[in-house]
Structure 1
Amino acid sequence: MINPIWLNTFCTLVEVNHFTRTSERLFMTQSGVSQHIKKLEQQLDCELLERHGKQFTLTAQGQSLYQKGSQLLKDWQFLEQELHNDFPYSGEVKVQSPGSCGLKFYKQLLNLQTQHSALTIDYRFAPNESVEQAVANHNADIGFLTQAPTLSEVTSHKIGQEALLLITPAGYDSPSWQTLCELGFIAHPDAKHHAQLLLSEHYSEFEHIDQIKRTGFSNQISLILEPVSLGFGFTVMPAHAVEAFNKPELIKIHHLAKPISEAIYVCHHRNRPQAKRMHTVIDAIKTGLK
């Protein structure tokens, strides 16, 4: 069995990329770090590093050990934490989600934290792919997605759905295809996907969003409707982001004939048991979606 202390020294060295700084981080001598690496190489009967003076590069075996070994160290760390800190209303929960549902969920979790001061919420906003990768890499305990995950390390289930809405400046009623083309499109990171889902169902002329001139772009979820409110164009966005806009009188929300929604999934790492506080967070979000 690989010595976990030697493995931790090796993974820390790879991450820090410097023997002296590794020794400082681990409160060891530099010779102690070198001895751990040498003992690990002897135990595994292979070279892990190619030394170049004071620099080094990983061998193929070293790269493989780091990728798998760092994951093992994280799993051991999580296991130790869960055994000593598995309470439903205390501890830290790292959550990630795309922006729209995050605007709603984060407020719900702040309310939860207000009720349970020992519970700490670390909430990050990120695109679907980044959220899924964070869960797979143990950088997030819980992820909320608007697309089903594809990575084998991630398991999920559907907890709700969010309507997609056509938004124009105020004063536009039942906009025609020509009206949309004249207005122009305010884009955002998920705009192409959202427009395809919604516009293709309601406008026979629609083939792809590039048919319509782009008159603006923002990657900040809270700012996407600002250019719409100023009359610069229209956009398609999820309902939670629209609800959060603080100038509703300057925009027009169009509820089209055929409602279109995207699913919301909750996901976590397939090989990591869910702590009680993770269930607390998920239950709070599910309650808010009812």
Structure 2
Amino acid sequence: MVSPVWLRSFCTLVEVGHFTRTAERLHMTQSGVSQHVRKLEEHLGVALLVRQGKGFTLTDAGERLFAEARDILQSLSGLEQRVGQDDPFTGQVRVMSPGSVGLKLYPQLLELQRQHTGLIIDYRFAPNASVEQAVAGNSVDLGLMTQPSAHEAVQCRAMAEEALLLVTPASIIEPDWATLLKLGFIDHPDGNHHAGLLLGANFTEFEHVSQFQKTGFSNQIGLILAPVSLGLGFTVLPAHAVAAFAQPALIRAHALPHPASETIYAATHRHKPVPSRVNTVLRVAKTSLTQPKDES
């Protein structure tokens, strides 16, 4: 490998045009400059200079090396700055979260990117288990989860609470147990968990979600409420998913006497320092996900 020190001596010599002044600029001896050039020639196996007393003329090989070496040295000169750079508004931030959190947060992060175009948001929607594995494997910078991680490499911090809501067709004013049984349940990947938390706290009759006839299923967060809006059943969803539904007049979200919620956790790699740009996204996420209901 060619030494960048040799290259710097050679390029400075070509720019200055004189061995003595090159040595002065580089705080070297003249023999040191000559030695670096000679080592370059020996390493490359070609003559780079035709010496003429205290002056010189470049060979063809010397001209080619000078043309390329300048770019190499310029790149190297900015390397330390680039490696040490920790700009809070520059670079890619890879985020992953369950769907309801993403429906609320992703538009806020796009607005952040619009304000700071050097920031690049890479957002993926995934269940908790996939988020955990992605954080542990360093394939995302920030994970948002609705349950704490048990993985040794993942550090979780509680960040916000997201209410769970019972959602029925708009025609249902006060849902009682009999009404829910008649409607049937629109299931989703977290349906059993969400229904257990909310219905278990509010209906003494509730034992498990299989008490209801399953009248539909969707694994797409934006589509779970579509059958509910058509009167095909009820479901239990996090509040951000309900707020994002495109036809709110066709559904009704019910405030039950005993509220239930999920904690949202910020997950990062335990053994990796968090860059400033990730902390920027984390602050926006916390602000967005903890807004009062009338501002969300």
State whether TM-score is above 0.5. yes
Query: Quick check: 1:106 aligned with 2:106?
Result: yes
Identify the residue that residue 234 of structure 1 maps to in structure 2.
Answer: 234
- CA drift at 1:136: 0.2
RMSD after superposition = 1.4
- CA drift at 1:202: 0.7
Alpha carbons of 1:230 and 1:118: their partners in 2 closer, same or farther (altered >3 Å)?
A: same
> 2: distance between equivalents of 1:208 and 1:159?
29
The letter of the residue matching 1:194 is H
Identify the residue that residue 61 of structure 1 maps to in structure 2.
Answer: none
- CA drift at 1:261: 0.8
> 2: distance between equivalents of 1:226 and 1:246?
9
- 1:275-286 matched pairs, under 5 angstroms: 275-286=275-286
Deviations 1:226-284 (A, max 9, x none): 00000000000000000000111111110001111110000100010000100000011
> 1: distance between equivalents of 2:106 and 2:81?
24
> 2: distance between equivalents of 1:81 and 1:145?
35
Query: Quick check: 1:212 aligned with 2:212?
Result: yes
> 2: distance between equivalents of 1:149 and 1:117?
32
- CA drift at 1:81: 11
> 2: distance between equivalents of 1:162 and 1:242?
11
- CA drift at 1:170: 1.0
Aligned partners of 1:82 and 1:275 also within 8 Å = no
Aligned partners of 1:96 and 1:131 also within 8 Å = yes
> 1: distance between equivalents of 2:145 and 2:256?
24
Identify the residue that residue 151 of structure 2 maps to in structure 1.
Answer: 151
- CA drift at 1:83: 3.2
SS of the residue 1:233 aligns to: coil
Query: Quick check: 1:134 aligned with 2:134?
Result: yes
The letter of the residue matching 2:167 is I
Identify the residue that residue 198 of structure 1 maps to in structure 2.
Answer: 198
Deviations 1:17-62 (A, max 9, x none): xxxxxxxxxxxxxxxxxxxxxxxxxxxxxxxxxxxxxxxxxxxxxx
Identify the residue that residue 62 of structure 1 maps to in structure 2.
Answer: none
- CA drift at 1:156: 1.1
Alpha carbons of 1:182 and 1:283: their partners in 2 closer, same or farther (altered >3 Å)?
A: same
Identify the residue that residue 17 of structure 1 maps to in structure 2.
Answer: none
- CA drift at 1:84: 4.2
- CA drift at 1:285: 1.0
> 2: distance between equivalents of 1:208 and 1:148?
23
Aligned partners of 1:85 and 1:91 also within 8 Å = no
Query: Quick check: 1:267 aligned with 2:277?
Result: no
The letter of the residue matching 1:218 is S
Identify the residue that residue 9 of structure 2 maps to in structure 1.
Answer: none
Alpha carbons of 1:193 and 1:81: their partners in 2 closer, same or farther (altered >3 Å)?
A: farther
Identify the residue that residue 178 of structure 1 maps to in structure 2.
Answer: 178
- CA drift at 1:218: 0.4
The letter of the residue matching 1:242 is V
> 2: distance between equivalents of 1:222 and 1:199?
22
Identify the residue that residue 256 of structure 2 maps to in structure 1.
Answer: 256
> 2: distance between equivalents of 1:204 and 1:83?
60
Aligned partners of 1:169 and 1:234 also within 8 Å = yes
Residues paired across the two proteins, number: 211
* TM-score computed with the length of structure 1 as normaliser: 0.71
- CA drift at 1:174: 1.5
Deviations 1:79-108 (A, max 9, x none): x99834421000000000000011011011
SS of the residue 2:240 aligns to: helix
Identify the residue that residue 71 of structure 2 maps to in structure 1.
Answer: none
The letter of the residue matching 1:160 is A
- 1:20-59 matched pairs, under 5 angstroms: none
Deviations 1:133-169 (A, max 9, x none): 1000001100000101110100011111000000000
Identify the residue that residue 97 of structure 1 maps to in structure 2.
Answer: 97
Considering only CA atoms, is the larger Rg found in Structure 1 or Structure 2?
Answer: 2
Identify the residue that residue 189 of structure 2 maps to in structure 1.
Answer: 189
* TM-score computed with the length of structure 2 as normaliser: 0.70
The letter of the residue matching 1:279 is N
